[in-house]
Structure 1
Amino acid sequence: MQSTVGPASYIRQRDVIETIGQHAKKFGQKALIIGGKTALSTISEKMLRSLEENGIVSNTEWYGGESSWTEINRLIQLVESVGPQFLIAAGGGKALDTVKAVAYATNLPLIAVPTIAATCAAATQISIIYNDEGIFTEISRRSKAPDLVLVDTTIISHAPVRFLIAGIGDTLAKWFESRASSQKSVPTALVRTAVKIANELYLILLEFGKSAIESARNRQVTSALNDVIDAIILISGSVSGYGGDACRTAAAHAIYSGLTIFPEVHETYHGEIVAFGILSQLVLEGKEDSEIRELISFYRQIQLPTTLKDMGIVSLTEEQLQQFGSVAVEIEDMANMPFTVTPEMVIQAVIQADSLGTECK
């Protein structure tokens, strides 16, 4: 048995980016910083100053906009040309996943600096890969868990609140998906622990989610915001870290991946689409409408999407629905469901979830 539960080290505090050089110097004196354009423009000045003060020479590069093999391979060549001793990844999930794949290929230490709390990408050993057009293609194990994660709560509290809301949506899925996927696995100590953690995450988000969002809207770092940030970035990642494929993802993420074939949803964040995927999964599992409506009520309070229209999909033809259903069942996440799922079942689940979401508006 081998397991990587999460990053080697995790530090969450105000203005920690101003001390990154002190933490980074143990990895070497030459860094390559790779990240999103917004992230780099937000943190570059303070980060570069701290690195320089600690004798670290650095270069900066945009990750390319998609977590695709095209960009990963380009960056691998850049690393080989520049010759850094370690990598720093800055930004959201796609930027972090891209650099995690680069770090794996080049066998370099990695510091992750998530500038939003929208996914658990900073704390996992997998990378979500898309094609150059933003359509999901695979979950890659050719990826490295960061050696250090630095979470600057000042930066995250100043990011658009919608990212935090999306992060709550993505993290809610840990409970619903692990509850389903663990049914077909051996209930080992690791799997049982992972499911318990996932359930606790669900309860934490119900309890502190609204307060954390309000804190972020006011740009205040509160205990509720700290708890939700840790839940989204670190604790969420530990569920798949402990449980592995038995507790990673299921129908909610498969439905998310299937929906990415439609350009209309490309302006909707990962966690927002996953949140709708949860509703669809609950329908797929035959859960009571009352349970689904209760979750929809929470979604409405924190502004997560409850309908296809909320994600920009106004109408779908029969051909598009069939294409979506066929894609969704082929996603490896769907194989984690404790029963066989057909395209028709997925289509009907999404239609019914959309109907329930519309009724509850």
Structure 2
Amino acid sequence: MSNIIIAPGKYVQGKGELSKLGGYVEKLGAKPFILVSPSGMKRVKEPITRSFGATPLVFEEFCGECSKKEINRLIEKMGGCDVVIGVGGGKILDTVKAVAYYAKKPVVIVPTIASTDAPCSALSVIYTDEGVFEEYLFLPANPNLVLVDTDVVAAAPARLLVSGMGDALATYFEARAVKASDSGTCAGGKATNAAISLAKLCYDTLIENGLRAKLAVERHVCTKAVENIIEANTFLSGIGFESGGLAAAHAVYNGLTVLEASHQFYHGEKVAFGTLVQLVLEDAPTEEIEEVVDFCLDVDLPVCLEDIGIIDPKPEDIMAVAEATCVPSETIHSMPFEVTADKVYAAIMGADALGRFYKGK
């Protein structure tokens, strides 16, 4: 199997970039179809429209879930549009990537938050209409353009930036496991040294800048630390997970979706706990686990089941999570050893106990 690394056609990050969107998109199409959340429409419609000048635009509101039903609805709404733009969070971005793929149109990604590593990837995570994980849709190409306006991202609630740190936290540990098992990646090959290096840089950036970025965004300012974390959450984690590989942390996240109590928490928040579960599962050194837990506590990421809404968990519920985590198609089987539902159950309970211990110190 070949070593492969993939990336978006162009990645743009900086202050005020939303006002330049039209100039970037004109090279891709003449009639954009723009998907935005109802709340986002009030904030971004005017500056986006102004950036396109006289270009005709079709805006559509997102229904809230990246499901097959929503994807099909949007394809029917496109009409004669020749480029698809998604403005918002991870589920909107995954949805427009799927819509553009089926409609055979170029796609532009404009994240307004840095809460996941979805923007740069050739992947859409599909859920049922009720929000339960259904499948990964692997796409033949990454987005044509990813544009990040750091002023917009820094203005979002700090919890969203922190959630992105939780998603990014898994990147290096999953890539490391995939490399150790010599497994394939979402890029369709094996990990390159470049992808592993970007994954490690992602982790190092989080540890160095995470707390300072959280504190700055809580005060509604965009410092260099914020810029660094936006790049780590969006680009470094995006390339790192896709071309470095996924393993246990994201599989645990998918397993957790079977418990409705966890649905109120963000993707990255649950991935952060999944990262701790992976470290317990692979019996990582105590020093490494402590560094991860300390980071999570500093920036307010979950370290135990209670932190993701699962209070007094019943053994049968956690076993249901473990079994969903271990279905044959899941990425947990990229770990460098055999994984069973019993092992995952033990790792979840062990991680929960560790998190509770460190929170109580």
Settle same-fold status: TM greater than 0.5: yes
Q: Give the SS at the match of 1:151.
A: strand
Match of 1:218 in 2: 219
Match of 2:201 in 1: 200
Match of 2:25 in 1: 24
Distance 1:239 1:21, change over 3 A: same
- CA contact under 8 A between 1:157 and 1:219: conserved in structure 2? yes
Amino acid at match of 2:331: D
The 5-angstrom pairing of residues 153-164 of structure 1 reads 153-164=150-161
> Are positions 1:115 and 2:112 aligned together?
yes
- CA contact under 8 A between 1:175 and 1:195: conserved in structure 2? yes
- Give CA-to-partner distance per residue, 1:34-66, whole Å, 9 cap, x none: 122232222111111222x1x210111122211
Match of 1:341 in 2: 339
- Give CA-to-partner distance per residue, 1:284-333, whole Å, 9 cap, x none: 00123343223111111110011111111102223212211111111521
Q: Give the SS at the match of 2:35.
A: strand
- CA contact under 8 A between 1:100 and 1:143: conserved in structure 2? no
The range that moved more, 182-191 or 32-41, is: 182-191
The range that moved more, 267-276 or 59-68, is: 59-68
Report how far residue 96 of structure 1 moved. Answer: 0.1
| Residue 303 of structure 2, aligned match among 291, 294, 306 | 306
The 5-angstrom pairing of residues 267-346 of structure 1 reads 267-330=264-327, 331-346=329-344
Distance 1:210 1:264, change over 3 A: same
Find the aligned partners of 2:343 and 2:254 in 1 and give their Cα distance.
Answer: 16
Identity, in percent, stands at 37
> Are positions 1:78 and 2:77 aligned together?
yes
Amino acid at match of 2:133: F
The range that moved more, 158-167 or 35-44, is: 35-44
Report how far residue 189 of structure 1 moved. Answer: 8.8
Amino acid at match of 1:218: R
Match of 1:106 in 2: 103
What is the TM-score with the length of structure 1 in the denominator? 0.93
Amino acid at match of 1:216: V
Q: Which runs of 5 or more residues in structure 1 are unaligned?
A: none
What is the TM-score with the length of structure 2 in the denominator? 0.93
| Residue 350 of structure 2, aligned match among 346, 349, 352 | 352
Find the aligned partners of 2:35 and 2:234 in 1 and give their Cα distance.
Answer: 19
Match of 1:140 in 2: 137
Q: Give the SS at the match of 2:105.
A: coil
- Bigger proportion of residues as helix: 1
The 5-angstrom pairing of residues 26-45 of structure 1 reads 26-45=27-46
- CA contact under 8 A between 1:128 and 1:138: conserved in structure 2? yes
Amino acid at match of 2:15: R
Q: Give the SS at the match of 1:123.
A: coil
- CA contact under 8 A between 1:31 and 1:88: conserved in structure 2? yes
- Give CA-to-partner distance per residue, 1:146-180, whole Å, 9 cap, x none: 11111111110100110100111111101111111
| Residue 180 of structure 1, aligned match among 177, 181, 185 | 177
- Give CA-to-partner distance per residue, 1:82-115, whole Å, 9 cap, x none: 2101111111111000100111111111111100
Distance 1:321 1:133, change over 3 A: same
- CA contact under 8 A between 2:119 and 2:146: conserved in structure 1? yes
| Residue 88 of structure 1, aligned match among 85, 89, 100 | 85
- Give CA-to-partner distance per residue, 1:327-356, whole Å, 9 cap, x none: 111152111111111111111101111111
- CA contact under 8 A between 2:201 and 2:236: conserved in structure 1? no
- CA contact under 8 A between 2:86 and 2:93: conserved in structure 1? yes
RMSD over aligned CA atoms reads: 1.8
Match of 1:13 in 2: 14
- CA contact under 8 A between 1:308 and 1:314: conserved in structure 2? yes
Q: Give the SS at the match of 1:90.
A: strand
Distance 1:286 1:308, change over 3 A: same
The range that moved more, 94-103 or 209-218, is: 209-218
Distance 1:354 1:190, change over 3 A: closer
Distance 1:342 1:149, change over 3 A: same
The range that moved more, 264-273 or 18-27, is: 18-27
> Are positions 1:165 and 2:162 aligned together?
yes
The range that moved more, 131-140 or 34-43, is: 34-43
Find the aligned partners of 2:141 and 2:167 in 1 and give their Cα distance.
Answer: 21
Q: Give the SS at the match of 2:8.
A: coil
Distance 1:19 1:310, change over 3 A: same
Q: Give the SS at the match of 1:221.
A: coil
- CA contact under 8 A between 2:162 and 2:301: conserved in structure 1? yes
The range that moved more, 178-187 or 149-158, is: 178-187
The count of corresponding residues between Structure 1 and Structure 2 is 353
- CA contact under 8 A between 2:174 and 2:241: conserved in structure 1? no
